[in-house]
Amino acid sequence: MSVPLKLIYNEDPTKNIGSEVRKNIVRPIVTYNNISKSYGDLQVLKNIDLEIAPGEKVALIGPSGSGKTTLARLLMTLEEPTSGTIEVEGEMLWHQRVNDKLIKANEKHLHQVRGNIGMVFQHFNLFPHMTILRNVMEAPRNVLGLSKDEAKERAVKMLEQVGLSSKIDAYPAQLSGGQKQRVAIARALVMRPKVMLFDEPTSALDPELVGEVLEVIKAIASEGEMAMLLITHEMDFAKDVADRILFFDQGKIIEQGPPKKIFNNPESERLQTFLSRFNRH
């Protein structure tokens, strides 16, 4: 199934340079410094260090329960790190510096910093009591403070981009899973975040609906400006879209590199085992 797309294709001048090089010439948009996260005795993230460059597309792969989702949720401020710090554009996310001491950030500080981040959830999480249009225009209107007309214009344009302008008056319950996820993508994009998180965006979809959602994400990725952190089990998609692949297992980044290397030349045994499970099908 093809989706009408009207995305603007901006060539990123640094696109063809490897991500390792890009990191050195631009300040990272996101930095995880020695991040750990535990739930009681269970440690789901173990001393993670990670930098994401502006516009970089990073795909996270790995077995379920390896901590990929938690990594994204920490950045979206849905979950608090147990230790370590996260910076967004050089600004601390979960902490504030007061008199040279790091203290826990308050809601006001979180509000300031998390405006740079957007997220698409596995289960869409559309607002069921709002029409599609209101789902997309509510945040621009209330959070960005746009006028009703401006917010509507922006929302309609965004819904056109994901091929759903005919559904603006429908309610989420009247849409297919693939359509819901496309609305959710539009709802996140309309806020123009600098970093977008995709948490297994196609895992809850029927197989025949996966394609339309992946196509939309690919088109967004090719715009280039926005950094993306993609958690996915779609290996071909990760290979296509990502500049860099991170392989996660048991709360750690086991191996990372450009897609070619990760998929053709996996070094660690765990990654080889993980990939062989996909190649069998």
Contact between 39 and another protein (CB under 8 A)?
Answer: no
Contact between 166 and another protein (CB under 8 A)?
Answer: no
d(CA 150, CA 52): 32
Contact between 128 and another protein (CB under 8 A)?
Answer: yes
d(CA 248, CA 35): 14
**Which of 168, 187, 202, 205 forms a contact with another protein (CB under 8 A)?**
187
Cβ–Cβ under 8 Å, residues 49 and 78: no
**Which of 118, 224, 257, 259 forms a contact with another protein (CB under 8 A)?**
118
Give me 67's structure tokens.
């901590």
d(CA 223, CA 225): 6
Q: What is the DSSP string of 238-250?
A: HHHH-SEEEEEET
Site string for another protein, 71-110 (x = CB under 8 A): -----xxx----------------------------x---
Tokens 């709002």 correspond to what residue? 130
For another protein, the closer CB: 184 or 228: 184
Stretches 2-10, 70-78, 88-96, 219-227: which one binds another protein (CB under 8 A)?
70-78
d(CA 76, CA 173): 26
For another protein, the closer CB: 52 or 120: 120
Contact between 125 and another protein (CB under 8 A)?
Answer: yes
Distance set, CA 135 to CA 29, 144, 146, 161, 176 (Å):
28, 14, 15, 15, 16
**Which of 5, 92, 139, 156 forms a contact with another protein (CB under 8 A)?**
139
Distance of closest approach, residue 148 Cβ to another protein, in angstroms = 14
Cβ–Cβ under 8 Å, residues 212 and 178: yes
Contact between 138 and another protein (CB under 8 A)?
Answer: yes
Stretches 82-90, 97-105, 186-194, 218-226: which one binds another protein (CB under 8 A)?
186-194
- Expressed in angstroms, the distance from the first to the final Cα of the chain is 22
Residue among 256, 250, 205 at smallest CA distance from 229: 256
Distance between alpha carbon 114 and the CA centroid of its chain, in Å? Answer: 13
Contact between 191 and another protein (CB under 8 A)?
Answer: yes
Contact between 45 and another protein (CB under 8 A)?
Answer: no
Contact between 145 and another protein (CB under 8 A)?
Answer: no
Dihedral through CA 14, CA 195, CA 20, CA 258, nearest 10? Answer: -100
Beta-bridge partner residues of 225:
none
Distance of closest approach, residue 271 Cβ to another protein, in angstroms = 30
Stretches 8-16, 18-26, 113-121, 207-215: which one binds another protein (CB under 8 A)?
113-121
Using CB under 8 A, list all residues that contact another protein. Answer: 76-78, 107, 111, 114-115, 117-119, 121, 123, 125-129, 138-139, 142-143, 171, 173-174, 184, 187-188, 191
